[in-house]
Amino acid sequence: MDIKALVSQMTLEEKAGLCSGADFWHTKAVERLGVPASMVSDGPHGLRKQDDKVDHLGVNDSIRAVCFPAACATAASFDRAMVTRMGEAIGDACQHERLSVVLGPAVNIKRSPLCGRNFEYFSEDPYLAGEMAASFIHGVQSRNVGTSIKHFAANSQEHRRMSSSAEIDERTLREIYLPAFETAVKREQPWTVMCSYNRLNGVFASEHPWLLTELLRKEWGFEGYVMSDWGAVADRVAGLKAGLDLEMPSSGGYNDRKIVEAVQNGTLDEAVVDRAAERILNIVFRYTGHAKPDTPWDKEAQHALAADIAAECMVLLKNEGGILPLRKEDEIAFIGEFAEKPRFQGGGSSHINCFKTTSALEAAQGLHIRYARGYDAAKDMASDEMIAEAVEAARAAKVAVVFAGLPDVYESESYDRSHMRMPDCQNRLIEAVAAANPNTVVVLHNGSPVEMPWIDSVKGVLEAYLGGQAVGTATVRVLFGDMNPCGRLPESFPKKLSDNPSYLFYGGEGNVAEYREGIFVGYRYYDRKETELLFPFGFGLSYTDFCFFDLHLSAAEISDREALTATVKVKNTGSRPGKTVVQLYVGDKESSVFRPVRELKGFEKVELQPGEEKEVSFTLDKRAFAYWNTQLHDWHVETGEFAIEVGYSSRDIAETAVVKVNSTVRVPRHYDINSIFMDILDDPRGREIIAPLLKVMQEGFSQGQSEQSDAANEAITDAMNLAMLRYMPLRTLLSFAGEKADPAALEAILKQLNED
């Protein structure tokens, strides 16, 4: 279809009308020209399709659907193929329900454990978040249904989210908060991008020309349309000029009229309206041209898939004395309301109206299970009677399993957590149960890290995250060994909230949120500062054992234009089949700028039988070694040695090799009379040019020392002279050169230094 020709037949009012929704969920139709409306749906871990009584925050019911594990859980899988399968299933559901776009994935970085929407985001690490997002998008869009990657950009808090400005320096933005979007856009071309509510460095994301046009379209090559988050539009005309194509939801025609008026009074070029209409219609017809409403939606099959996925995501955090897996013939106590009514999703716009749920208690039918409620999640309380009943059940059991975590009200869209604690009643319950039965295991249902004051009192901890509607089935499989846990933490678990790098500034002051910790987010901070953690990034245990060995690099030295291949062997040295995640980190051994100790640049999930061995290969390009140079406004690699590390987590490195990378880019430098010798000496060309000056300076020092007493000479060594010299500016040549001082020569040398 010739979209340009179609748009040329529209009136200005019709084109302007296309730039906002018809209602809460539909784009507008132009019936006289055969332009259909299309429907979008909340996601990203299932459908929240609503037809009437519409809202955006999950207050009203939507269709019965399948709730898959939330992003906090799926990221823990470190499994691209699995996330793609989940995307395919959601894409099938969209086709069945005549939905053109599912609103997800959400890829904002987990800056703090307090963000109320962390359960919907993947990771504190941009590489992992980007890989998970790209895999999900690939799966959904393989079904000819679009995605809307969100929230673009820097939406890492819910507090004042519609008014606050995220103040982020250029390097931090490029290295931490943009790469997940960049990976997904460049690799998978999501059909749409959803802008965030917040301002970015003072400008609303919905009207940010650099963000929506210069970066997203011109630099990254985005081809779809940009839509607003619901209600994110501040100035519609400014937004349209900046690159915001579709306003959602409908503004009742108000902003459509603003667009028409702006064109008529000459403040808005009609070509901008045409362009937005064309972008929207390209996606509308891409969907309608491939719509398959007869696509079957087998909810029972997807429920089973949701259980399989949830089991792959669970992270075994502690397993003292091999307390897990449980034996099916033993008497086991299931304690805690979440065993009967699991918390498996977060609150807000992603809330799914599940067609069914399976609890752990239900999944364990036929086993020797005794249940005690333990606490009331809705009331956030545990009576003395509840705890007494739990203690009695624990004493009568071989092993007591406490199902705990964060109630619904603790984590939701629209507001942030105020602390990192679990409910006091649940902590009290765990301590009481552990005192009654030393064989106590805790299963956690939460979307973000929690403090664990009872960690030394229990023998096992299984992090289930928010595992979707079939989480009970998955939990029982893992607890009883039908599934070997293979998840790894996609975020660091600090011991206490104040350990987090954003602790002092998170939330901001008024409408300004300064990201003062810069690039040191998550493990980048904890590893550099050597902070003692509860559990590090990438951590996870198994019921079997693995070893990594024989790390080999394809070259000992490369240029920044060449790729490096790293191969490593992994072996299952235990007695059970299982999966492990091979994590590859890169660290600059010596840098002129502040950099993390290591950064994740590759991972692979590997399945091995007992005794089986496989080789895993990684390809590292320039970006694996580069930092964002604010002088070049580009990615830059400094010549030097880089550590290539393979490990089980960011804190447990098994194999290390070193490669030298030579930069092919010389960073321009400008020198003046106040430039110090140290900076010039660090530049090979500068060192060559000022060599004669150094000789003059050293002679000046020597002459000065010869005129001093022997005691003074002993106090000032050549090494001290050299150390002082490195911090001296060029202008001191005129002070220390004595009779040899020559201002003209100094100017000539400065000119020579700056010629390049």
Active site residues: 229
- Cα-based angle 343, 346, 350 (whole degrees, multiple of 5): 135
DSSP letter at 30? B
The dihedral of CA 587, 592, 595, 601: what is its sign? negative
The residues with which 579 forms a beta bridge, in sequence order, are 607
Q: Which residue has the tokens 């430098």?
A: 669
Nearby residues of 21 by Cβ (< 8 Å), 6 or more positions away: 27, 28, 246, 247, 248, 249, 250
Chain centroid, CA 588 distance in Å? 22
Other Cβ atoms within 10 Å of 717 Cβ, number: 11
Burial 668-691 (b: 16+ CB within 10 A, else e): ebebeeebebeebeebeebeebbe
Can you tell me whether residue 631 is helix, strand or coil?
A: coil
Cis peptide before 44 (omega within 30 of 0): yes
Q: Report the distance separating Cα 236 and Cα 268, nearest Å.
A: 11
- The DSSP element (H or E) to which 101 belongs, if any, is strand 101-103
Nearby residues of 216 by Cβ (< 8 Å), 6 or more positions away: 152, 185, 193, 222, 226, 243
Six-digit token string for 489:
């933490």
The residues with which 619 forms a beta bridge, in sequence order, are 565
Output the DSSP codes for 259-324. HHHHHHTTSS-HHHHHHHHHHHHHHHHHHHTT--TT----HHHHHHHHHHHHHHH-EEEEEGGG--
- CA distances from residue 433 to 184, 362, 735 in whole angstroms, order as listed: 46, 22, 77
Q: What are phi and psi of 660, to 5 degrees?
A: -95, 130
Nearest to 478 by CA among 404, 401, 538: 401
Output the DSSP codes for 564-607. EEEEEEEEE-SSS-EEEEEEEEEEESS-SS---S-EEEEEEEEE
